[in-house]
Structures are given as C-alpha cells and as structure tokens.
Structure 1
Amino acid sequence: MDFRSFLGRYASITETKSISKLMECTGGANGLKKVLSPFELTLLGIGAIIGTGIFVITGVVAANYSGPALVVSFIISGIVCAFAALCYAEFAAMVPVAGSAYTYGYASLGEIWAWIIGWDLILEYSVSIAAVAVGWSGYMTSLLSGAGIVLPPELVNPPGLNGGMINLPSIIIILAITGLLIIGVKESARVNNVIVLIKISVILLFLYLASSHINPANWTPFMPFGWSGVFTGAAIVFFAYIGFDAVSTAAEEVKDPQKNLPVGIIGSLIVATVLYIAVSAVLTGIVPYFRFQNTSAPVAFALGEIGISWGSALVSVGAICGITSVLIVLLFGQTRIFFAMSRDGLLPAVFRELHPLYRTPVKVTLLVGVVTALIASLLPLQTIAELVNIGTLAAFIIVSLGIIVLRRTRPDIERPFRCPFVPVLPALCILSCGALIFMLPLVTHLRFVIWLILGLIVYFAYSRHHSRLHENTSGLECWEAPGNGKHL
C-alpha cells in the first residue's frame, strides 16, 4: 500500500458524522417513543447516581483507600464530574440522539474515536450493572438474614470468596429488570419514580438516626492511606457518579430534549453530590473505617453496629429499592448504546431490532441482561468497581475533547446550552480525569488496555467494513437492516 492510499484509508476512519445526519435517524414511525417528561428524566438521573455510591461503594473505598477522608474523595470526584457534566449537557442539548458519548464522539472526532468510546461504554455499563447487582445481593442477603432466612454462602458469593460458588440473587434481579425494560421505557420510568422517592427518604432517615451516634475519634487518623489513598478513592467513587451519563442515553426518548436534558444532567449531579458528602461523613463517624472491610452493605452494617437493628432492616429495604432504580437506568443506558452503534452499522443489525408491540430493542436487552448477570454472579465487588471507573473517566476525556474540537470546527451550530469557559473548563476535565486514571491500580490499566486492543480488532475486522456512514439514509431508511430492505 502506498502512502497516499494509507492516508485515504486513515481519513475514512476519522471522518465525522454530521449532526443533521445523526438527527435523521431519530424520526419515523419505527423510532423510539418520546415519552419521558422533565420530572421523569430528572428522577432517572437521581435514580442512577444516588444509591450505589452510598449503599455499596462507600464501604469498599473507606476500608481500602480513603479511610475517614472518604468525604474528600467524594468532593474531588464531584468537582471533576461537574466539569464533565457541563460538557455532556452541551452535547446532549445539541445532539439529542441515543448513544451518549459514543454519538458525541462520532459528531466531533470521527468514526474511529466513536468506536473506541462506544466500546469503552460497553465495558463501563456492563461492569457497572454487575457491580450494582452485587450490592443489591448483599443488601437482600442481609435483609433476609435479619428475618431469619439465611441463604447458603455458596449461593450469595462469587467463586473464591467466603466459600461461594455463584451469586444467585444478582442474577435474579438483573433478569427481572431485563423483562421490565423489554415492556417499555415509560413503564420502567414509572417504577423508577416510586423507588427513587423511597430511596431518598431512607437516606434522610439514616442521616437522622446516625448523626447522634457520631464519635469524632473514628475520624482519626483522617487520612490513614495518605493523599495517594484519597485520590485513588476519588478515582474509584467515580463509579457513583456515572448516572448523568445514563441520562444522556435517553435523549431520543425525552420530550423537548434541548431544554430538559441539561436540567436532568446537572440537577441530578448536584443532588447526588450533596447526599454523598453527608452520608460518607456520618458513616465513617459512627463506625471505624477498617470495619467496612468485605461488606457490600455498609449503611445497614453501620446501623447494626450502633444497635439500631430496626433501622438497619429499614435501610436494607430502602437500599434494595434504590439500587434497583440504578439497575433500571444502567441496563437501559447499555441497551441504547448498543442500539445506536448498530444503527450506524458498527455492530450487527440484530442489535437495532425493535419489538413490534413494545418498540424496544428486545434482542440486545436480553443479551445485556444475560451477560451482565454472568459477570455479577462470578466476580468480586472490588474488582468490578475498579474496572468500571477507568471506562467512565476515559469517556469523560473524549467528550470534553469533543467540545473543544467542535467549538473550533463548527462554531455555527446552534447550541441550546453552552458549556462555560471553553476551552479552559473542558481542559480541566481532561487533566483531572487523566490524573484519576493514573491513580487507579496498575492491573486495572492492563485490563482496560486489553479491552481496547480487542475492540480495535473488532473494528478493523468487522465494524469498519459495515459502517453506514456514507449511506444515503433518511427517516425510515435508517431503520432498515442492510441487505434485506425490511424495517426492523
């Protein structure tokens, strides 16, 4: 191959997809239904963000990384996420199309970068779903144990942990939510609305019950693992903030998305950050940080330690409801990313097939449910939590870079919401996310690199040759499977 031919091939994989072309595929009788109101969208964001970070990850990070300085880790992550949220809000209002960071990368940086971030999001969401399901299992096991129903350790732990063979409750909850999502997003949103309100009530109850039991001595030493532990903890609790990314995956199913998406993204992040800081301060104040080792239900555990057994049981009920809402939104987001990538031809056409009655991507929803259930049932929580965060941080970097690039290359595009202080704020996001990636364990970096290499192999072997970037698609044609001429 000569140099000119090489440049031509490289140019084709870095070509962007115009926003107008992206928007063409969101209409038509076979499109996704626009059913989400501003209130439902905001609760989707709160449902995804608040829950896992409070009810699951706090114990892991406090015991192994941050100690009582867990509150500082949450503040650092919250600041970095605020930078990213403003970038996401600009893109979401400007390109209200399913796919989140994948779609934004396609519009600003080109197909190869869109593929990389889409492949990254597949990892991020899959492992997030598994981690949340493990936390749900921990709280359900704790609740049943308090009621006198003790499940065998072989059925509630992954292989190699406490004599476990398989985490059966995590499989059950993932498959149940998979069925709910197949029925429809409106029905899923209604269920989410109820359990989010229950979740917030339980968190406020925990703060009320536990605040009088705070022992300042438990905050000493404040940074037992030093600043290195605090920043590593911040990188890991990034997992807790992934929800606003999930909000953006619902772009095609939101009423008046240009107005409502920025509100949902930024508003849900603000509420989550305040609650995270409050809970982490109280949690480490009532129980010494090292006591949270190997517990996936830290809030219920803490109340049990201070003798409020009824409160522990109530928190477990609220946590189960809350974590269920996280699973709903994350499973929803994962399926929409597969859907968007398939619609562009980068994944097989089967992933964009819609159910004839429910108008949901049924086959990809089933696939995501089965795969994530297997991950949750076989891997320990800490390994899952570390792996997902590097994917989240990488997504934030690419979205922030896309804002800078698109401001320079397409300043004429209408932007219903504008990220302030460009390029300074996106650059700060890129630098801070890069720093947090550096703080993650080396083994996490290696796993991520292996995943990306595998993704590039898939892209050059399949996706690049099936890309629909140059097809003259409009309206319903966007929904046709290549080669068969049938609407899906």
Structure 2
Amino acid sequence: MASNNKSIFRTKSIEGLLAQTASKGKGLKKVLGAFELTMLGIGAIIGTGIFVLTGVAAADYAGPALVLSFVFSGIACSFAALCYAELAAMIPVAGSAYTFGYVGLGEIWAWIIGWDLVLEYVVAVAAVAVGWSGYIVSLLKAGGINVPAALCNPPGQNGGIVNLPSVIILFIITLFLLRGVSESAKLNNILVVIKLAVVIIFIALGVGHVNPANWNPFFPYGVSGVFKGAAIIFFAYIGFDAVSTAAEEVKNPQRDLPIGIVGSLLVCTVLYIIVSAILTGMVPYAQYHNNAAPVAYALAQVGINWGSALVSVGAVCGITSVLLVMTFGSTRLLFSLSRDGLLPTVFAEVHPKFGTPVKSTLLVGVMTMVLSGFVQIGKLAEMTNIGTLAAFCVVSASVIVLRKKMPDFNRPFKCPGAPVTPVIAIIFCLYLIYNLPNFTKMVFVIWIALGFIVYFAYGKSHSLMNFEEETGTK
C-alpha cells in the first residue's frame, strides 16, 4: 500500500507502479531479453576501467596488488548486484535505485538517490566522452590526420576552443537513443563483441610476456593501497546498475534481469582480474603513471605494435558502448523522476512511434555535449564513484526493509543470505566511500544540499503522490 500522509517518507506501492507503467502512453516499449541485458551490462562495465584506469590505479595507488583491488571491488559489487537482482525482478520499472528507494525507504530517499544518480551518469558520460576523444585523436594522428588542438580540447586547456570529437560522438549516440532502445541494443551488441575480442587477444598476446619480477614488491603502497585502489577503480564497475534502469523495457523481467545483472558482473570481474595481473606483469607498474592507454602501451613496450594499434581500435569501440549505455541509463532516470512529478513532467513524455522518452534524451544529450565539449572534467569525474556507492547502499537497505514490510510479496529472484548479504554490501560500500578523496566527498555534499533545495521548492508539492492521496487512488 502507498502511504497516505504528507510525509517526506511516503512510499509508492508496487501495484501502483506496475499499473502506471501499463497506462497507455506512459510505459516504455518492451524489447529486451536476457542476452541484450547481459550485453548492456558488459557494454557499460568494460570500457574506461579496463582501457584507461588500470594503469593509473596501478601506478598511483596499488601497484601489482591492483589485482586484489579488483577482487575487493568485485566482491563489494557482487553483494550489491544480488540486491539489485531481487528488486529489479520484483519491481520491473524504469528508474533503478531511485524506484527501489521509493518503494522501500520513501520519497525523500528516492529523490536524493535519483538526483545523485542523474549527476553521476551525466558527469560519467561527459568524462568518458573526453577519453573517447583522446583515443580517436591518437588514432587519426597515427593515420596521418592531425586534429587541431583548438578543436579537441576545452577552453583553457592547450589552447582549446571546443572538444569537438566528444560532442560529435554524443550527438550520434543521442540520435540512436531517440530512434529506439532496440536499435541501440543492436549497436551495443556489435561494439561489445569487438571489445571482448580485443580484450581476449590482449590476454593471449600478453600472457607470454609476463615477467614475475615485475610483481615484486607486490604491495608497494602497503595493504591500504589495495583499498584506495579499489575505491578509485570502482569506476570500472559502474554500469551493471544501468541494466536495472532498463527493467521496464524487458520482455520477461522476472527471469532476465537477474541473469543480465549478475551475469555481466561475473564476466567483467574475471576479465578485469586477468587483465590487471597481465598488465602489471608485462611492464613495471610505475611506468603507467599518467598513461591514458595502458593496455596499448604494454603491448608496444614488448614490441607488439600491431597489437597496440588493434587495442586502440577496441578501446574506441569499448568506450563508445559505455557512452551508449550510460547515456541510456541517465535518460531513464530523468524519465522516472519526471513521471513521478518530482521534476517537470514534460520530460516524461514518450514518443508515440519509437516508445522512447524523447525530451529526457534530448536534455541529457545537450547536457553531456556541453560538459564534454567546454568543461575540463578533472576531479569531478570521481563523483561517479561516490554516487554509485551511495546508490548501492540505498538499494541494499531497500531489500532489508521490503523483506520486513512485505514478506509474502512474490520475489521471482531472492537475494541469498538476506539480510546478511545486504548488510555486507552496505559495509563494503561505506568503506570504499571512506577511502575516496576529500574533494569528491565535498562535491557530493554540495550537490545533495542543492537537491534538498530543489525537492522542497518544487518536487514535494508537484509529486504525483499528492494527487494519489487527494483522490484516494493507490
């Protein structure tokens, strides 16, 4: 039952949510299956993390013990993923952690996490687009085409005017998402197959060039470096939660969502551990300092230049699929917030033919293009880590609350070991938040404070929950 008071902790009923999505013109088109979901997860997870962040984390935080950082982050994500799988199968509605928080913890918690995740996704997309631009400019340069510095850097950086490649790729991705999720999923599947092939080729080429001496010392930054590295490379794992944002567009969500969420995470965790072990074994970890293309660099250092070029192509495909899935996730979150009245409902309008949230997609597209083209992202990109970790805490807490409040509700997939598993997930995530830089925490607090202002100035009075309570609908 939905709560029947004006409290900021009022909750939505699952029945009401499902009825809302079934309303003509308000629900999204159901076109995805387990395979597409798993590929969406892999598309979001394998990209910047494996092609960019591995080198930075090894050189500056963990050294060869980076492999343990990936293990620790992977375990933390696994506990959270089991919580996501239970709620996504139970509540197959767009919105991910926001929707789950609305049902389990109440409107204010849902708003906080939804507001937080919109920033996380938009900033992540902008930051990843800048990385994509760097790779494509390097590839063009290798082919004899030099992009002027003014057109591949933001103002104030290397004489830049606009980072045009990042704007162009985000424009193209926005057009794909406007056309429909089915077409976007097909493009993502192709990109994922290419980048998985490139990762496997790197493993096959690199394993024969591993020198165990490069793993000594294994803990150059001490054991604490493992956890600091885990907090930084957690960026590599954000994405499996994007699978749950597609819940409303899944043909058989009760079966397919758990497969997509857990399956994509397991595949990516195994690949991350193997790649990080080979990377630090091929080249001394310190050489990866300030290296934005560690995988390609490692192959070049051992004389496999053709492999290095191939990895660069794979990185472009990999990062493109990250952009596609993360942009998709942010549009669905904005759509959910608007459909509930917490943001202007104009962004909840669905295209009659394509079944996509057109205005939400356009707004996200414009925001990400402006950020990536004209702003130096810098430390703000780290916001994606703290935002995801906070979302994981809310989802895990929602599992505990709903098990208590609605013990008999049908759960097609049950998180094993609850409530212990969700508690462990929360502890892991809070510990990783503790290990993040202070700047990241400060920006997070400022953004959340702004979110409170928006909620009390607009969201609370415009929430559709007010209408439900006035008319008595549930």
Question: Equivalent residue for 1:455?
Answer: 451
Secondary structure at the aligned position of 1:469 is classed as helix
Residues 343 and 297 of structure 1, relative CA distance in 2, 3 Å threshold: same
Of residues 19, 26, 33 in structure 2, which corresponds to 1:24? 19
Q: What one-letter code is carried by the residue in structure 2 that aligns with 1:13?
A: I
Bigger shift: residues 284-293 or 315-324: 284-293
Question: Equivalent residue for 1:438?
Answer: 434
8 A Cα contact 1:236 1:385, kept in partner: no
Residues 225 and 255 of structure 1, relative CA distance in 2, 3 Å threshold: same
> TM-score by structure 2 length?
0.94
Matches within 5 A, 1:212-251: 212-251=208-247
Question: Equivalent residue for 1:121?
Answer: 117
Question: Equivalent residue for 2:303?
Answer: 307
CA–CA distance in structure 1, aligned partners of residues 401 and 187 of structure 2: 39
1:151-196 CA distance string (max 9 Å, x none)? 2334334455555454322221111101110000000011111111
Matches within 5 A, 1:207-286: 207-286=203-282
1:108-144 CA distance string (max 9 Å, x none)? 0000000001011111111221222122122212211
Bigger shift: residues 259-268 or 51-60: 51-60
Bigger shift: residues 342-351 or 296-305: 296-305
Residues 374 and 220 of structure 1, relative CA distance in 2, 3 Å threshold: farther
Question: Equivalent residue for 2:33?
Answer: 37
Bigger shift: residues 289-298 or 121-130: 289-298
CA–CA distance in structure 1, aligned partners of residues 302 and 375 of structure 2: 31
Question: Equivalent residue for 1:152?
Answer: 148
CA shift, 1:60, in A, is: 2.2
CA shift, 1:223, in A, is: 2.4
Matches within 5 A, 1:54-203: 54-159=50-155, 161-162=157-158, 164-203=160-199
8 A Cα contact 1:146 1:313, kept in partner: no
CA–CA distance in structure 2, aligned partners of residues 464 and 94 of structure 1: 26
> 5+ unaligned residues in a row in structure 1: which ranges?
1-7, 479-488
Q: Are 1:12 and 2:7 matched, yes or no?
A: yes
> TM-score by structure 1 length?
0.92
Residues 224 and 385 of structure 1, relative CA distance in 2, 3 Å threshold: farther
Residues 279 and 374 of structure 1, relative CA distance in 2, 3 Å threshold: same
Q: What one-letter code is carried by the residue in structure 2 that aligns with 1:357?
A: K
Bigger shift: residues 354-363 or 453-462: 354-363
Of residues 356, 361, 383 in structure 2, which corresponds to 1:387? 383
1:46-74 CA distance string (max 9 Å, x none)? 11112221112212222221222211111
Residues 10 and 142 of structure 1, relative CA distance in 2, 3 Å threshold: farther
Q: What one-letter code is carried by the residue in structure 2 that aligns with 1:211?
A: V
Of residues 342, 346, 356 in structure 2, which corresponds to 1:346? 342
Quote the RMSD (CA, aligned, Å).
2.0
Q: Are 1:327 and 2:313 matched, yes or no?
A: no
1:344-400 CA distance string (max 9 Å, x none)? 000101111122332211111111112112222345565244221000000000111
1:86-126 CA distance string (max 9 Å, x none)? 00000000000000000000000000000001011111111
Residues 97 and 343 of structure 1, relative CA distance in 2, 3 Å threshold: same
8 A Cα contact 2:96 2:241, kept in partner: yes
CA–CA distance in structure 2, aligned partners of residues 176 and 204 of structure 1: 28
Secondary structure at the aligned position of 1:357 is classed as coil
CA–CA distance in structure 2, aligned partners of residues 59 and 376 of structure 1: 23
Bigger shift: residues 286-295 or 266-275: 286-295
Bigger shift: residues 194-203 or 22-31: 22-31
Secondary structure at the aligned position of 1:25 is classed as helix
> 5+ unaligned residues in a row in structure 2: which ranges?
none
8 A Cα contact 1:130 1:384, kept in partner: no
**Size of the alignment, in residue pairs?**
468
1:199-241 CA distance string (max 9 Å, x none)? 1100000111112222223223322222332212111211111
8 A Cα contact 2:4 2:10, kept in partner: no
How much identity, in percent, do the aligned residues show?
A: 63
Q: What one-letter code is carried by the residue in structure 1 that aligns with 2:462?
A: H
1:407-439 CA distance string (max 9 Å, x none)? 111112111111111111111111110010000
1:228-283 CA distance string (max 9 Å, x none)? 32212111211111121000000010011011100100000000000000111111
Q: What one-letter code is carried by the residue in structure 1 that aligns with 2:271?
A: L
